[in-house]
Amino acid sequence: MDWLLPHLDTLSVAEYTQLYILRGRVRERVSRFPIGGDNPRALKSADPVQFRGRRYSPEKRRFVLKSALSRNIKVSGFCLMITKQENLKRWSVVIAMVVFLAAWEGLVRLLSLPAFILPAPVQVGERFLRAASDGTLLRHTAATLLEVMAGLASGVFFATLLGYLLAKSRLLENVLQPFLVASQAVPTVAIAPLLVIWFGSGIFSKVLICSLIVFFPVLVNTVVGLRAVPENLRDLMHSLRASRMQTLRLLELPAALPVLLGGLRIGATLSVIGAVVGELVGADRGLGFLINVGRGLYDTALVFVGVFTLVAMALALYGAVVLLERRLLRWQTE
């Protein structure tokens, strides 16, 4: 900005300067309108100071242009700072992955570990390509993903339904609260064998385990979100004679949606754990079954392939919930 200040006094009133800041560079575009020329707003006057019915001294013009330039530079600098932060965030993930793989490879080479103890990243990559090429990985991933999606959907549905009833009835909450808390005191791994024995080693037992893991966090977030709705807004809907369904659709659901989606984030990641726990207990397909096969054959690279596939699945589900949250909550930023 300093390079322009000595020249501000030399600008005539008939020349106006528009400053654009693009990609960190200050670009100047000067549009000239001769006094009394084609510009319909220019005054038919020979006075270079008189313009648009006002009189500006050189000092006034210098102050106005300096203020405009300063505001544009501040806004552009803020935008550039946000862009740099976003780029830094993206590159930080890539750098962290590269450092992790390099440390892993260095540890294997330094300790001279055999492949059945800790395979190198290259060996895991080769095993991944072999499992993907023969269709083994795709078949087991599809089975686990089906169980995860079915368990997540059923767990969220029943948790939301019961959470709404608990938020509306204190009596029902007092009756069911001890049983709900007691159900969380028992680890799911402990009751998973019983569920497999009772319901078989098919897909239903895996979906049931997923639903049980997802159920409680979504239930708690539903109750908290619905009870956080301001009472004055409820009174407003009551004064407008809104029905219970209209109150739920127009007030309670939008107001509680941020908290509900927060519970869905947790449930999306926990559902993967539920499916794997059920498959480890008893199954004939799925990523948990694949990990069991790799463990029995001392194929540690295959175990790593299954684990990394589960991590990618959990990250994908979490990202999908984040995108859904941004779409449904756009009204908060508008």
Share of the chain above pLDDT 70, in %: 72
Same domain assignment for residues 76 and 135: no
Q: Which residues contact 46 (CB under 8 A, 6 or more apart)?
A: 35
In a domain, 77, yes or no: yes
Q: Is residue 110 assigned to a domain?
A: no
Report the pLDDT value the prediction gives residue 148, as an integer from 0 to 100.
Answer: 93
Does 100 fall in a domain?
no
106 found inside a domain: no
Final residue of a structural domain among 88, 113, 130 = 88
For the entire predicted model, the pTM comes to 0.69
Of 63 and 154, the structure prediction assigns the larger pLDDT to 154
* 228-272 pLDDT per residue, tens: 888 888 888 888 888 888 888 888 888 888 888 888 888 888 889
- Same domain as 136, residue 62: no
* 22 has a pLDDT exceeding 70: no
Q: Give the residue-averaged pLDDT of 96-124.
A: 87
Q: For the chain, how many structural domains are there in total?
A: 2
As to burial, measured by CB atoms within 10 angstroms (0-12 exposed, 13-18 middle, 19+ buried), residue 270 is buried
* Residues 64, 205 within the same domain: no
Same domain? 184 vs 303 = yes
Is 108 among the domain residues?
no
> Is 61 found in the same domain as 131?
no
Amino acid at 200: G
Q: Are residues 304 and 194 in the same domain?
A: yes
Q: What is the rounded CA–CA span in Å between residue 159 and residue 143?
A: 24
pLDDT for res 60: 55
Domain that residue 32 falls in: 5-88
194 and 256 inside one domain: yes
The answer to which of 60-74, 109-123, 225-239 has the lowest mean pLDDT is 60-74
Q: What is the pLDDT of residue 306?
A: 92
Q: Is residue 166 part of a domain?
A: yes
Q: What is the pLDDT of residues 142-165, one digit of tens each?
A: 999 999 999 999 999 999 999 989
Domain closes at, from 41, 72, 88: 88
148 and 272 share one domain? yes
* Residues of the chain above pLDDT 90, percent: 18
Supply the pLDDT for residue 36. Answer: 42
Do 182 and 68 fall within a single domain? no
Residue 298 has pLDDT above 80, yes or no: yes
Helix locations, the chain, DSSP H = 58-111, 121-133, 136-168, 170-185, 188-199, 203-227, 231-239, 244-247, 253-281, 287-296, 300-328
Find the CATH number of the domain harbouring 178: 1.10.3720.10
Confidence class for position 35, pLDDT limits 50, 70, 90: very low
Domain match, 155 and 239 both: yes
Same domain, 32 and 163: no
Q: Which residue has the higher pLDDT, 176 or 57?
A: 176
Residue 195 lies in a domain: yes
| Residue 45's pLDDT band (cuts 50, 70, 90) | very low
Q: What is the mean pLDDT of the chain?
A: 77
Q: In terms of domains, do 67 and 129 share one?
A: no
Identify the domain boundary among 39, 73, 88: 88
Query: Does residue 218 carry a pLDDT above 70?
Result: yes
Q: Look at strands 15-22 and 25-32 and give their pairing.
A: antiparallel
| Residue 12 reports pLDDT greater than 70 | no
The answer to whether position 227 is within a domain reads yes
